[in-house]
């Protein structure tokens, strides 16, 4: 008996193309647009308008932000682990 992934239906739904892009791209684009529209200072920046127009650039921006956050959290985790090891060695 083969086991299907837990979120197979959701993955298929997100991957189906809508107007040339996967639905997941449009969802990330919509989230990016909401963030951009909620910050008035960003609306004054002409570069921010590029992300409103092009969904692929918006998704790239989100993915780069996620990767940068993961990298920063990894660095913080390593520092915390080093500090913990230093404290436990002294005890």
pLDDT tens, position by position, 36-76: 778 878 778 777 777 667 777 777 777 777 777 777 788 88
- Residue 3 located in a structural domain: no
Q: Is residue 62 part of a domain?
A: yes
Question: Would you state the structure tokens that stand for residue 26, as one six-digit string?
Answer: 């449009």
Global confidence as pTM: 0.38
Q: Judge contact between 36 and 2, C-beta under 8 A.
A: no
Two tokens at 9?
Answer: 């239906």
C-alpha–C-alpha distance, residues 29 and 35, integer Å = 10
Report how far residue 16's alpha carbon sits from residue 22's, in angstroms, rounded to the nearest whole number: 5
- Domain total for the chain? 1
pLDDT average, residue stretch 69-90: 82
| Residue range(s) defining the domain that contains residue 71 | 8-90
Question: Has residue 14 been placed in a domain?
Answer: yes
Q: Does the residue 22 lie in any domain?
A: yes
Q: Is residue 2 part of a domain?
A: no
């Amino acid at each position: 008996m083969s086991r299907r992934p837990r979120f197979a239906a959701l993955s298929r739904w997100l991957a189906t193309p809508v107007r040339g892009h996967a639905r997941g791209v449009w969802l990330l684009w919509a989230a990016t647009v909401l963030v951009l529209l909620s910050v008035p200072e960003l609306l004054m920046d002409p570069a921010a308008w590029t992300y409103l127009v092009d969904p692929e650039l918006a998704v790239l921006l989100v993915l780069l932000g996620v990767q940068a956050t993961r990298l920063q959290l990894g660095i913080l985790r390593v520092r915390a682990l080093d500090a913990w090891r230093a404290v436990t060695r002294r005890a």
